[in-house]
Amino acid sequence: MVAQGRPLENKVNFTNLFSPGAYLSALRQQTAKSENCSMHDLRPSFSWNARYENLSSKLDVIVEGLVLQGGKFDGTSLEETHASAPDFIDFPPMIVSFVRNFEPTKENFLQTPLYSSSARDRLLMEIPLPCSKQEREKLILASIALFVSE
Give the pLDDT mean for 133-145.
91
Tens-digit pLDDT profile for residues 11-31: 899 999 999 999 999 999 999
pLDDT of residue 57: 59
Share the mean pLDDT of the chain: 85
Instruction: Give the domains, in start order, of the chain with CATH numbers.
Output: 7-148 (3.10.490.20)
Helix (H) or strand (E) holding 138: helix 133-141
Partnered with residue 11 across adjacent β-strands are 62
pLDDT tier at 7 (50, 70, 90 boundaries)?
Answer: very low
Beta strands in 5-135 (DSSP E): 6-7, 11-13, 42-47, 61-64, 66-69, 72-73, 78-79, 88-90, 94-100, 109-115, 123-130
Tens-digit pLDDT profile for residues 21-73: 999 999 999 999 998 999 998 989 888 865 544 455 568 899 999 999 999 99
- The pTM of the full predicted model, rounded to 2 decimals, is 0.83
Residue 139 falls in which region: left (phi positive, over 0), alpha (psi -120 to 50) or beta: alpha
Tens-digit pLDDT profile for residues 105-126: 667 899 999 999 999 999 999 9
Task: Quickly list H helices, 8-69.
Answer: 20-35
Name, in order, each residue with C-beta under 8 angstroms of 64's C-beta and a sequence gap of 6 or more. 11, 12, 13, 14, 93
**Is there a contact between 125 and 54 (Cβ–Cβ < 8 Å)?**
no
